[in-house]
Amino acid sequence: MSEITYISKEVSVEGVLEADDLKVVVAGSFSGNINANEVILEEGSRFDGEVDARIIVIEGELKGKVKSYQLKVSETARVDGELQTNSIEVASGAEIAGSISRVS
Amino acid sequence: MSDQQSSIGIGAKFKGKITGAKALEINGDVEADIDIGKITIGQDAHFKGGIKADLAVISGIYEGTMQAESIWLTDTSRVSGEIRYQSLQMDRGAALNCRVVYNWDDTDQKPKKSKSKDKVEDQPDDIIEEDK
């Protein structure tokens, strides 16, 4: 458990998080950059910035840039930005505005 | 998962601001200023920055100025900088190279920046001067 980085609901974080081969879960708000193996932006979370991870799951609100090998956007998600991914799954109900492209 | 307290995992590096947390556990490498209820700095953690807390439990490396009602320094803790406390517990083995102030009062003493020459290994030793 101590290897997971978790930002709980009431918490706001601003900054740069580098967790290269680790898992990051955000339930609160994060503004800045995240670099990790797996990033889960939970329902109710707010993210503003750039996120780069092998696996990314978006269930909350996101503004900014996303780069991932595998991206999942759930029905509660609202995404506004640039998505770069090789594999994307979008649930019905998700709101996406912006661009989607392959990881170069 | 959603009731879990916030934490920075082992191996993770964070630099920035964390606000709104009641409790926080740090196991990674963190540079921040934090105002919080309870903070735990784990054995693998390296924390740099200011802390204001009700309770601080330190088992890792801490550098900075900490102000807490209650401070517990466990046997693996390494502290440099300054700690201000009302209640302090220190385990045998705790390594302090810092200024220690009991029952601080913000109004009558403005803290000058951190003191102490620090000899703790595996951390960059910025030499900070002792002043009285």
Stronger pLDDT, A48 or B117, i.e. the higher one: A48
Using a pLDDT cut of 70, give the percent of chain A over it: 99
| Blockwise average pLDDT, block size 10, chain B, 132 residues | 80 95 95 95 97 97 96 97 95 95 68 49 52 52
CB contact under 8 A, B16 and A14: yes
**Cα dihedral B10/B12/B15/B21 (nearest 10):** -60
- What is the extent of the structural domain holding A47? 5-101
- Residue spans of the domains in chain B: they are 21-102
Average pLDDT over residues A1-26: 93
State residue B130's pLDDT score. 54
Task: Report residue B11 as tokens.
Answer: 């191996």
Stronger pLDDT, B122 or A40, i.e. the higher one: A40
CA gap B88, B55 in Å, rounded: 10
B21 and chain A in contact, CB less than 8 A:
yes
Q: Is B108 helix (H, G, I), strand (E, B) or coil?
A: coil
- ipTM of the complex in this document: 0.91
| Domain count along chain A | 1
The residue behind tokens 């703790």 is B120
Give B31 to chain A, closest Cα distance, Å. Answer: 10
Chain A interface test: which of B2, B3, B6 (most A C-beta within 10 Å):
B6
The answer to whether B97 touches B117, Cβ cutoff 8 Å, is: yes
Angle subtended at Cα B24 by Cα A36 and Cα B93, rounded to the nearest 5 degrees: 105
State residue B2's pLDDT score. 45
